Structure 1
Amino acid sequence: MTSLGANDIDWLTDLLARAGSEQVMPRFRNLGDGAVQQKTSAADLVTEADVAAERMITAELRARFPGAVVIGEEAVADDPTLLDGWWKTDQLAFVIDPIDGTFNFASGVAAFGVMLAVVRDGETIAGIIHDPVGRDWILAEKGAGAALRRGDGRESALKVAEPAGSIGAMIGSASWQYMAEPERSRVARNQGQCLGSVAYRCAAQEYRLLAGGHIHFALYNKLMPWDHLAGALITQEAGGHVRRFDGEAYRPDHVEGGVLAATDPDSWQIVREALWRA
């Protein structure tokens, strides 16, 4: 199967909701001894809920879409070679983040999400971010706009904020934790020029703020496909502008170079210049 059918988006949103209700929420604030493990650092965690949700989503995707490529964050953690050329398939490819914001989830903080992106021919064609706590979704199909879908089925269009015009009038999120020095300290310091900042440690919720018109930019140095493909598409379909730090368009095969999402090209340039200013 090389394209999404008319009912596939509804099926995918339901799948993420079921994974949230069956695998994630029963374990929220209810993780037992040994249920949380470190991956690369004390800030990079995996829980039994991440693993269980990814297994469920992966199994159901493979049953519905035979021949599709499925890339999950935890599967790649076990076998990094899964990332080699995954986007080159002529079949659909699904990219899963079973719990984005695992640090928050493991800490009992209700700011996390379940994310899924659909890639075809090296291009993201759909993105869905589910909030298991709020029981709703933000989602987009390429060329069809972005929407907030509530649990009762009602939808409303998502639209980024109007341009603020200057860095001092912007509210944004800058995840500088994975930057090397001196870039890390420079960006962290310069963020103080902004009107305000948010730091949820959760791209799922930060992209929701951006696409919903509540903040003006979101910046990330760590660039893995499960963290950003869905949110980048949703932001673009909501009218936003997403590029790597060097100004190049962000693609599914990119795993370095950082990504900056903003309300429009001019605001993107303002943020890029202000936060890196020596």
Structure 2
Amino acid sequence: MSTLSSGDMDWLAALLLDVGTAEIMPRFRNLGDGAVHEKTSAADLVTEADVNAERVITDALLQRFDSAVVIGEEAVSENPALLEGWSRAEGLAFVVDPIDGTFNFASGVAPFGVMLAVVEAGETIAGIIHDPVGKDWIMAEKGSGAILRRLDGRETALQVAEPAGAVNRMIGSASWQYMPEPERSTLARNQALCLGSVAYRCAAQEYRLLAGGHIHFALYNKLMPWDHLAGSLITTEAGGYVRRFDGSIYRPEHTDGGVLATTDIDSWNMVREALWRG
């Protein structure tokens, strides 16, 4: 069970809603000149909305949890040393992706989200993914199940799909663009073995599809904590199975080795074998 109180979880959800309303949505399809910058490539962007949202979230977290560590994607982009040993810090650590799917956001299309994970003693104990467009959340605390919470307060339990039983009956997401060759080409080709594929360029929304029972797997090679800690916990709490590519448990300190999230262990093995097939 999480050591956070129900009041803490409600406060965190409200914080993400407030930031989405004040900092993100006013800039959606309304970014001015100079508001978008490349980081590592034309597909890896940062906007003034990312920077402002992360600043507001970080400030609010440190006011409420004054001894906590906060790891934000944009702060780490400016100072990579922040990633060193953060998951072993005493007390709570918060991991923030102010806008997951920045390429989509900057392009004026809707698949993006705000992601927040809570880590304690080297374990992810809570995760929240907020959709600023739909104004709702998927969220989980370790050992308590996963829910979809709507703006009016209604909550629905999340449950991954029933196992499909074969790769050719699965729909999934395989993000191969950060993979080295020949894996990149192999996975891109072998996706054709599946019933269908989705590629939102937004882990926040792809984890929502998986935890909500709409797809059967999601696969990522780039393993930064803000991209996957919240979604992997929510998927696990929704009954799913999440492991790194070598079958080991994905933990907050991992930044390599990829992650494959599926509905169950048998599906994990099927996808792992089929997509890497030579």
- Is the TM-score greater than 0.5? yes
Distance in 1, matches of 2:4 and 2:204, equals: 23
Equivalent residue runs for 1:49-128 within 5 Å:
49-128=49-128
Equivalent residue runs for 1:105-184 within 5 Å:
105-184=105-184
2:271 counterpart letter in structure 1: V
Distance in 1, matches of 2:20 and 2:80, equals: 25
1:76 counterpart letter in structure 2: V
Runs of 4+ in 1 over 2 A off after TM superposition: none
Q: CA deviation at 1:3?
A: 3.6
Distance in 1, matches of 2:147 and 2:97, equals: 20
CA contact 1:3–1:92 (8 Å) conserved in 2: no
CA contact 1:136–1:151 (8 Å) conserved in 2: yes
Distance in 2, matches of 1:125 and 1:214, equals: 25
% same residue: 75
Q: Do residues 33 (structure 1) and 33 (structure 2) align?
A: yes
CA deviations on 1:90-135 (whole Å, 9 max, x unpaired) are 2100000000000000000001000000000000000000000000
CA deviations on 1:64-103 (whole Å, 9 max, x unpaired) are 0011000000000000000000011121000000000000
TM-score (norm 2): 0.99
Gaps of 5+ in 2: none
Distance in 2, matches of 1:165 and 1:18, equals: 42
Q: Do residues 209 (structure 1) and 195 (structure 2) align?
A: no
1:13 counterpart letter in structure 2: A
1:245 counterpart letter in structure 2: F
CA contact 1:112–1:205 (8 Å) conserved in 2: yes
The aligned counterpart of 1:255 is 255
The aligned counterpart of 2:246 is 246
CA contact 1:218–1:262 (8 Å) conserved in 2: yes
Distance in 1, matches of 2:259 and 2:89, equals: 24
The aligned counterpart of 2:189 is 189
1:130 match: secondary structure: strand
CA deviations on 1:121-170 (whole Å, 9 max, x unpaired) are 00000000000000000000000000000010000000000000111000
The aligned counterpart of 1:200 is 200
Q: CA deviation at 1:245?
A: 0.3
1:254 match: secondary structure: coil
2:107 counterpart letter in structure 1: S
1:182 counterpart letter in structure 2: P
Distance in 2, matches of 1:133 and 1:33, equals: 23
Distance in 2, matches of 1:111 and 1:51, equals: 19
1:81 counterpart letter in structure 2: A
Distance in 2, matches of 1:255 and 1:222, equals: 8
CA contact 1:190–1:276 (8 Å) conserved in 2: yes
